[in-house]
Amino acid sequence: MPEQQTPTASQSSNDEFIDFLLSDQKTPEHTLKQQAQAVKAARHAATGRQQASFRPAAKPAIVFDRVTKVYQAQPGKPALNKVTLQIAFGEFVFLVGHSGSGKSTFIRLLNRELTSTRGTILVGGENLSTIKKWRIPYLRRNVGCVFQDFKLLPKKTAFENVAFALQVIGKSKAVIRNQVPEVLRLVGLGDKQHKRPDQLSGGEQQRVSIARAIVNRPPMLICDEPTGDLDPQTSLGIMKLLERINHTGTTVVVATHDKQMVNAMRKRVITLEGGYLVRDEAEGEYSLNA
Ligand code: ADP
Ligand code: MG
């Protein structure tokens, strides 16, 4: 079945994403060494090597401890309410719930786009309430993000879109020439590297955005409704790709309300309802009414 055509991302959301990537360039020189060590430690933790050799109890990838998020516009109605959970390195987790249940808020807290109102969030052991400003770009390097609307640069090819994520963190041309075709092959786009978003189907555009999110090999990948605009067959292909990435050791968190998909995948399912965590099941099902 051919993949559905969908419009490419709007310029404004692209601008936000570029700011997000470029925030990396504001890092002062003297902190680079410390940061490199932090990235290395996160890598070790991601592959489990460090825990296996040094630590009997593995450090979780993500900890939420009684996390509450209240938006100013809705002071009486927390978007997340005392959410407590842990996600281990290497897990694949679905975050499900109706529209407005708090899924995107959860995702945006994880990459420190938002801060919690109360409670503690740890990502790779780093406390996001007390994280130093200079470390936030490094957090973001370790947490790849995929969105429903792809956020691709419309005038750039698949290759250039993925290369851009490496350019902004100062990777050399040689690294870019080597890693970009490799990651595009991994997501199944080896033969479409020189196509622009408007020459690609929705599913292919989402594959480019996944390639961009993982090209720097982050230990975590978080996805907010990654198949929200795709037909069921294309969605399944994207989920299988995310599963394959998870099998390489990457922790994957997918917010979705795609019931059929969640039930087909047999993964851990965390259910939010009105900002409350109401269910957390290994190999769970999407059990809210559609
Ligand atoms: P979901 O992704 O599950 O649809 P959200 O996290 O987007 O849920 O929203 C959770 C709740 O927070 C909803 O009631 C929504 O209206 C509210 N909300 C989300 N973003 C904002 C915001 N920027 N300002 C005020 N309220 C918001
Ligand atoms: Mg949402």
Question: Would you tell me how many other CB atoms lie within 10 Å of the CB of residue 86?
Answer: 13
pLDDT in tens, 184-237: 999 999 999 999 999 999 999 999 999 999 999 999 999 999 999 999 999 999
CA geometry: angle 37, 89, 256, nearest 5 deg: 120
pLDDT at 262: 94
**Dist. CA 284 → ligand 1 center (Å):** 25
Burial class (CB in 10 A: 0-12, 13-18, 19+), 239: buried
Measured over the CA atoms of residue 134, residue 138, residue 23 and residue 173, the dihedral's sign is: positive
Written out in words, the top-level CATH class of the domain with range 11-281 is alpha beta
Give the CA diameter of the chain: 53
**Residue 72 Cβ contacting ligand 1 at under 6 Å:** no
pLDDT in tens, 160-192: 999 999 999 999 999 999 999 999 999 999 999
Residue that has been written with the tokens 């969605």 in this structure: 235
- Ranking 24-33, 34-43, 239-248 by mean pLDDT, the lowest is 24-33
**Residue 148 Cβ contacting ligand 1 at under 6 Å:** no
Token pair, residue 143, equals 């947490």
Ligand 1 atom nearest to CA at 257: 3
**Residue 197 Cβ contacting ligand 1 at under 6 Å:** no
Q: Which residues surround ligand 2, an ion (CB under 5 A)?
A: 103-104
- With beta carbons less than 8 A apart as the criterion, state whether 69 and 120 touch: no
Burial class (CB in 10 A: 0-12, 13-18, 19+), 65: middle
- Ranking 179-183, 274-278, 279-283 by mean pLDDT, the lowest is 279-283
pLDDT at 40: 54
- Residue 249: pLDDT band with limits 50, 70, 90: very high
**Residue 73 Cβ contacting ligand 1 at under 6 Å:** yes
The domain limits of the chain are: 11-281
**Residue 103 Cβ contacting ligand 1 at under 6 Å:** yes
**Residue 105 Cβ contacting ligand 1 at under 6 Å:** yes
What kind and span of H or E run contains 161?
helix 158-167
> Between these two residues, 11 and 134, which has the higher pLDDT value?
134
**Residue nearest atom 5 in ligand 1 by C-alpha distance:** 102
- Rounded to 10 deg, the angle between the 232-247 and 202-214 helix axes is 20
**Measured distance CA(32)–CA(36) in Å, rounded:** 6
- Residue 260: pLDDT band with limits 50, 70, 90: confident
**Dist. CA 96 → ligand 2 center (Å):** 10
Q: Best of 94, 95, 105 to mutate for ligand 1, by most ligand atoms within 8 A of CB?
A: 105
pLDDT in tens, 90-127: 999 999 999 999 999 999 999 999 999 999 999 999 99
Residue type (1 letter), 20: F
**Dist. CA 158 → ligand 1 center (Å):** 31
Laid out side by side, the sheet with 60-69 consists of 80-88, 60-69, 118-123, 126-127
- Ranking 16-20, 95-99, 249-253 by mean pLDDT, the lowest is 16-20
- Residue 136: pLDDT band with limits 50, 70, 90: very high
Q: Backbone phi, then psi, for 102, in 5-degree steps?
A: 115, 10
Residues 6 or more apart from 156 whose CB is under 8 A from it?
A: 164, 196
- With beta carbons less than 8 A apart as the criterion, state whether 91 and 280 touch: no
**Residue 220 Cβ contacting ligand 1 at under 6 Å:** no
**Dist. CA 287 → ligand 1 center (Å):** 21
Check whether 52 has a pLDDT greater than 50: no
User: Per DSSP, what are the bridge partners of residue 270?
Assistant: 95, 280
pLDDT at 58: 65
**Dist. CA 56 → ligand 2 center (Å):** 37
Please state the rounded mean pLDDT for residues 249-276.
95
**Dist. CA 276 → ligand 2 center (Å):** 15
Token pair, residue 163, equals 């290369």
- With beta carbons less than 8 A apart as the criterion, state whether 63 and 122 touch: yes
Check whether 36 has a pLDDT greater than 80: no
Token pair, residue 124, equals 């790779």
pLDDT at 216: 94
**Residue 246 Cβ contacting ligand 1 at under 6 Å:** no
Check whether 137 has a pLDDT greater than 50: yes
